[in-house]
Amino acid sequence: MKIGAMYSHLNGYEWIQYHQKPMWLEIENIIKKINAEDFKLKVSKEKTMKGRMLYSPSDLNKRIKEDFEKLGWFESRTNYWVTDDYNLISKTMHLKADEQKRIIEGEGKIAIKSYNQTDFVKNRIAVEVQFGKYSFIAYDLFVKHLAFYVGDTIDVGIEILPMKKMQSEMSSGPGYYEGALYDLARQGRGVPSVPLVLVGIE
């Protein structure tokens, strides 16, 4: 596989090139080493593609996970506490989790434990590989990466997606690079307020 297109949001790519260039080279090499044709393992049952061999997202994800973990990239999880009071959430969201809980309960509110997790983190860079439903991409871009950034766990997030050409050889449902790029552009230049690199693979 290879990188077919890339978009740098809030100078995410430039940040990596200046501060963490070896990490970018690791990501590029992981993508390059995979022969996508080896993962055309799924026989389509869909009416419009019946009998066609399609890319298997689950097998692709498994291989990518193995390759990232070999290089020391691992899943990361951030815990936080929420409540039903907007002002209280705004006041506590930048604090450590135990401090959030203490303040929320101190105000007589119920503190509800929540969390975000991301596929891979290393050296303050988060990577999400998304071959799942298109709705998950928006969650990654506008919630997950932002939560890790606000929580001071990462400095930049990377979202890896199939290009439309590759996605068209998968079952219906997965999102694709061009669609995610449109969603980012529609929000305006400063949203989400986290440096990102959108990567389309083919």
Distance CA 73, CA 142 (A): 22
What is the per-residue pLDDT for 38? 94
Sign of the alpha-carbon torsion through 152, 156, 160, 163: positive
Which residues in the chain land under pLDDT 50? none
Question: At 64, which helix (H) or strand (E)?
Answer: helix 57-70
Instruction: Dump pLDDT digits (tens) for 116-159.
Output: 888 999 999 999 999 877 678 888 988 899 888 988 889 999 99
What is the per-residue pLDDT for 78? 81
Q: What would be the CATH architecture of the domain defined by 3-76+118-201?
A: 3-Layer(aba) Sandwich (3.40)
What is the per-residue pLDDT for 172? 67
Task: Report domain extents, the chain.
Answer: 3-76+118-201
Question: At 120, which helix (H) or strand (E)?
Answer: strand 112-122
pTM assigned to the model: 0.87
